[in-house]
Amino acid sequence: MNYVEGFVVAVPAANKEAYRKQAEEASHLFKEFGATRFVECWGDDVPDGKLTDFRGAVKAKEDEVVVFSWLEYPSKEVRDAANQKMMSDPRMKAMGEQMCFDGKRMIFGGFAPILDV
């Protein structure tokens, strides 16, 4: 099975197109580094929870939308190698300096699939 890396971030609603463009630009690098799939999803039905929720996890403000993203890699090893390449790539550094959201509130992690139907 593949390996999945997931992200959740709050993006100002006014920055939707800028975020989409940045994600598209980043997708080429992620694929170059080994990702086989790159998916970005703009929050459409993200309800407030009773105990916790996506908005609370990223401390989303009233004017922000929750974005859920994931990348697929052939393996955890390929993902780990890709992350190392990203950290030293000047193109990724330049993108990081122009983010249209607060990257400090991003949550992310790697996941080993246990079911894929």
Residue 90 lies in a domain: yes
Residue 1 lies in a domain: no
pLDDT at 87 over 90: no
Q: Mean pLDDT across the chain, nearest whole number?
A: 94
Contacts of 48 by beta carbon, 8 Å cutoff, 6+ apart: 55, 56
Element of type H or E holding 65: strand 64-73
- The average pLDDT across 81-96 equals 88
Count of domains in the chain?
1
Instruction: Give percent of the chain above pLDDT 90.
Output: 84
pLDDT at 85 over 80: yes
Residue 2 lies in a domain: no
Q: What's the start-to-end Cα distance of the chain, in Å?
A: 11
Strand partners, 107: 8
pLDDT digits (tens, 9 = 90+) for 20-44: 999 999 999 999 999 999 999 999 9
Q: Measured between alpha carbons, how far is 113 from 4 in angstroms, rounded to an integer? A: 7
Lookup result for tokens 């929870």: 49
Residue 3 lies in a domain: no
Taking CA atoms, 57 is separated from 38, 62, 110, in Å, by: 22, 14, 17
List the CATH number of the domain containing 89: 3.30.70.100
Structure tokens at 9: 């971030």
Residue 116 lies in a domain: no
- Which range marks the domain in which residue 28 is found? 9-111
* Upper half-sphere CA count for residue 90 (Cβ side, 13 Å): 0
Residue 4 lies in a domain: no
Residue 87 lies in a domain: yes
Residue 80 lies in a domain: yes
